[in-house]
Amino acid sequence: MKNAYLQRVYDQVLARDPDAPEFHQCIREFLESLENIVDDHPEWEKNGILERFIEPDRTVTFRVTWVDDAGKVQVNRGYRVQYNSAIGPYKGGLRFHPSVNLSVIKFLGFEMNLKNGLTTLPLGGGKGGSDFDPKGKSEAEIMRFCQAFITELYRHIGQFTDIPAGDIGVGSREIGYMFGQMKRITNRFEAATLTGKGLTYGGSLVRTEATGYGICYFTQEMLKKMCGTDFAGKTVIVTGSGNVAIFCAEKVMQLGGKVVAMSDSNGYVYDPAGIDLDLIKDIKLVRRARIKEYAKEKDGAVYKEGCRNIWDIPCQIALPCATQNEVDATEAKKIIAGGCIALAEGANMPCTIEAVELLHAAGIPVGPAKAVNAGGVSTSALEMSQNSIRMNWSFEEVDEKLHGIMKGIFEAAYDASVAVGQPGNLVVGANVASFLKIADAMVAQGIV
Ligand code: NDP
Ligand code: 2IT
**Residue whose CA lies nearest to ligand 1 atom number 22:** 265
Residues 161 and 231 in one domain: no
Atom from ligand 2 closest to the CA of residue 167: 5
Q: What pLDDT does residue 393 have?
A: 98
User: Is residue 448 pLDDT above 80, yes or no?
Assistant: no
> Catalytic pick from 106, 127, 234, 304?
127
Give the ligand at the shortest distance from the Cα of 384.
2
Residues 231 and 272 in one domain: yes
Spatial CA neighbour of 368 closest among 439, 441, 433:
433
Residue 233 has a CB neighbour count (10 Å cut-off) of 10
Give the ligand at the shortest distance from the Cα of 319.
1
Rounded to the nearest integer, the mean pLDDT of the chain is 98
Task: Please state the pTM of the whole predicted model.
Answer: 0.98
Question: How far is the C-alpha of 94 from the C-alpha of 64, rounded, in Å?
Answer: 14
The predicted model gives 43-47 an average pLDDT of 92
**Listed residues 325, 352, 367: the one ending a domain:** 367
Q: Which residues contact 208 (CB under 8 A, 6 or more apart)?
A: 172, 196, 243, 247
Asked whether residue 411 is domain-assigned, the answer is: no
| Spacing, Cα 355 to ligand 2 middle (Å) | 24
**Listed residues 325, 349, 367: the one ending a domain:** 367
Asked whether residue 179 is domain-assigned, the answer is: yes
Q: Residue 406 — very low, low, confident or very high, per pLDDT cuts 50/70/90?
A: very high
**Listed residues 310, 343, 367: the one ending a domain:** 367
Residues 140 and 285 in one domain: no
Considering the chain, what percentage of its residues have pLDDT values greater than 90? Answer: 99
CATH number at residue 70: 3.40.50.10860
User: Is residue 351 pLDDT above 80, yes or no?
Assistant: yes
Asked whether residue 266 is domain-assigned, the answer is: yes
Q: What pLDDT does residue 185 have?
A: 98
**Residue whose CA lies nearest to ligand 2 atom number 8:** 377
User: Model confidence over 50-98: pLDDT tens digits?
Assistant: 999 999 999 999 999 999 999 999 999 999 999 999 999 999 999 999 9
33-37, 42-46, 151-155, 260-264, range with the lowest pLDDT: 42-46
Confirm whether 127 is a catalytic residue: yes
**Residue whose CA lies nearest to ligand 1 atom number 42:** 376
Residues 14 and 105 in one domain: yes
Asked whether residue 402 is domain-assigned, the answer is: no
Residues 244 and 331 in one domain: yes
Per-residue CA distances from 191 to 120, 177, 205, 260, 397 (Å): 22, 13, 15, 39, 20
Three-state SS letters, 327-387: ECHHHHHHHHHCCCCEEECCCCCCECHHHHHHHHHCCCCEECHHHHCCHHHHHHHHHHHHH
Asked whether residue 196 is domain-assigned, the answer is: no
Spatial CA neighbour of 28 closest among 163, 129, 240, 20:
20
What total of structural domains would you count in the chain? 2
Range of the domain at 46: 4-188
User: Is residue 296 pLDDT above 80, yes or no?
Assistant: yes
User: Is residue 154 pLDDT above 70, yes or no?
Assistant: yes
| Spacing, Cα 132 to ligand 2 middle (Å) | 19
The predicted model gives 407-418 an average pLDDT of 98
Q: What pLDDT does residue 447 have?
A: 80
Question: How far is the C-alpha of 382 from the C-alpha of 380, rounded, in Å?
Answer: 5
